Structure 1
Amino acid sequence: MIRRARLLSVLAALVVGAMGVISSTQTWLVAVLDDGAGHELTVTGAAAVPVLTPLSLAVLALGGALSIVGVVLRYAFGVLTVAIAGLLAFLSAQIAFTTPVSAVASTVTSATGITGAEAVGALVASVTATPWPALTFALSILLLAAGFLILATARRWTRNGRRYESETATAAEAAPDAPAPRPFDAIDSWDDLSRGADPTADTTPGPR
């Protein structure tokens, strides 16, 4: 169960981070201008939520580091994951459910040169959201659940390095007089062949 919790937490962070980066390049909003011609402007996720890309990259980094850090950093990363997920959920929910004109202001200003909240608001006739903000909101909720799962189970995770060291120590205790194994390379194989020996043969001494 603990291994599954760690795996699910890491996978959730990696998936949400990757999808967040993808989402930042997709169209989130379509703004129709009240300029007589009804021009449409598309707004990407990065333009609607400028912090979407850096936060998604941070989540990717957290997911990659979660399985190798110690207990203290697991809790720190868990808190960061919850904080990032909450911020992403709040920002994406605003756009998905309220479609504010402020989310398209920078794109409208770049296209028309008009600045100021009132002037941009008067120029924009309508704003329509695509499914991407809602999808990002759902992914943020998944990340939030993963963050709480990290905080609930982090102390009981097993570090791969420590488990390997424990297994090595156990093997050494079981055979304290056994010589330390030496890396076997291509040169060893060539020397054995030149002497007429089979390099693949098991030379470990057995019971007589």
Structure 2
Amino acid sequence: MTDHDATASETEADEPHADAALSAGRRIKVLTILVVLVASALGFLAWSQTWSTLQLSGSESVAATITVPGSVAAPALSALSLAGIALAGALAIAGPVVRLVLGVLELVLGASVLWSSIAAATDPVAAGASSVTTTTGVAGSSSVRSLITGHDATLWPAAAIVAGALMVIAGLLVLVTVRRWPASGRKYQAVVFEDASGARSTDPGDFFDDGSTAPEPKATRRERSDAAVDDWDDLTRGDDPTR
């Protein structure tokens, strides 16, 4: 067996491994982006639901119960979730360096969602204080707490916590597997045109004269212009006959 045959055999043996690595990287990329989308959508859904119900002390002038939506308990959750959805779209076309930045950003978004959700879940009275103030007109932390006799929490704060945890996991997954992702498609790159002489440009109009359909590089047009000036000088011996 010659060296060429040995090299060809090694190349053919490496092709299945390369294809398998490319396929695995593509699956990891799709899975990571899917986790980011699902976590962000879950966080936004939780933000739009009721998080708790507060029972007030008996009074004929105020309602007996007040419902606290996620938009009141964790108002930042909507912006954080929408940012996560936008980040998923950016991940689909980003290069390796930008993916690292996006991975760190996803970690920050997930940590922020966790912090906001846990704070509201552990203290529903404080999370719903603004709703109590709007309904009763009573302000101040101690005054509001004195009106609350009990509260019932829903599952949506826990769902928001899960969303934040998934966002953190997705950010870590991006940072760990960033080098295994396949490159972005060429449709996101600038198109470069090249003529027969080897001249390259992103504008196809650079290879055509105005009003003409025949291609001609700019360098050729400059050479013809210089030649015309030389011919004129030879004919007039450097004098302008129009003067």
TM-score (norm 2): 0.63
Partner of 2:51: 28
| Offset of residue 48 of structure 1 | 0.1
Partner of 1:123: 147
- The counterpart of 1:84, out of the listed 81, 94, 109, is 109
C-alpha distance in 2 between matches for 1:78 and 1:101: 34
Residue identity matched to 1:104: G
Residue identity matched to 2:65: E
Q: Where has structure 1 moved over 3 Å in runs of 4 or more? A: 35-38, 162-165
C-alpha distance in 2 between matches for 1:84 and 1:34: 38
| Offset of residue 141 of structure 1 | 1.2
C-alpha distance in 1 between matches for 2:57 and 2:171: 44
Partner of 1:48: 73
SS in 2 for 1:160: coil
C-alpha distance in 1 between matches for 2:188 and 2:39: 30
Gaps of 5+ in 2: 1-23, 190-243
- Map 1:165-180 onto structure 2 (within 5 A): none
Equivalent residues of 2:110, 2:167 under 8 A apart:
yes
C-alpha distance in 1 between matches for 2:57 and 2:36: 41
| Offset of residue 164 of structure 1 | 9.5
- Map 1:1-208 onto structure 2 (within 5 A): 1-36=24-59, 39-96=64-121, 98-162=122-186
SS in 2 for 1:30: strand
Residue identity matched to 2:177: T
Equivalent residues of 2:40, 2:163 under 8 A apart:
no
Structure 1 residues 128 and 99, CA gap change in structure 2 (3 angstroms): farther
| Offset of residue 90 of structure 1 | 2.3
Range 32-41 or range 145-154, more displaced = 32-41
Equivalent residues of 1:101, 1:121 under 8 A apart:
yes
C-alpha distance in 2 between matches for 1:73 and 1:144: 18
| Offset of residue 42 of structure 1 | 0.7
TM-score (norm 1): 0.73
Equivalent residues of 1:31, 1:40 under 8 A apart:
yes
C-alpha distance in 1 between matches for 2:25 and 2:161: 27
| Offset of residue 162 of structure 1 | 4.3
Partner of 2:4: none
Gaps of 5+ in 1: 166-208
- Deviation string, structure 1 residues 100-140 (Cα, Å, up to 9, x no partner): 42101111111111111111111111222100011111122
Give the aligned CA root-mean-square deviation in angstroms: 1.9
C-alpha distance in 2 between matches for 1:5 and 1:12: 10
C-alpha distance in 2 between matches for 1:4 and 1:140: 23
Rg: which structure is higher?
2
